[in-house]
Amino acid sequence: MARFRRKKTSSSNVAKERLKLVLIHDRAGTSPSGDIMENIKQDIIKVISKYFEVREELFDVEIKNTRDTKGSSATTLTANIPIRRIKNMGKNKY
């Protein structure tokens, strides 16, 4: 009898899906909802916090659309992450 296994949801898969939503909004010419941006922010904080102590209250994420002089456009995701200190991960972690 074959067993059906539920696919594990990794944080990278969740992040990929959220970034896909951001790209869809970008291509449609709309801005992503505040919920999506907040979820992306929390995902980034979760990952970065493994290695750094961060100041969450000053953490900022934004998506920008830019056009160059030739008319090409690019979308960037920029995160401003104030770091208090690097966490001690032991000798063999770095």
Confidence at residue 12, expressed as pLDDT on a 0 to 100 scale: 78
Q: Where are the domains of the chain?
A: 12-93
What torsion do the CA atoms of 80, 18, 49, 12 make, to the nearest 10 degrees? -130
Confidence at residue 53, expressed as pLDDT on a 0 to 100 scale: 93
- pTM value > 0.85: no
**In 3-state terms, what secondary structure has residue 75?**
strand
Express each pLDDT in 36-54 by its tens digit.
888 888 898 899 999 999 9
Confidence at residue 82, expressed as pLDDT on a 0 to 100 scale: 92
Higher model confidence: residue 35 or residue 7? Answer: 35
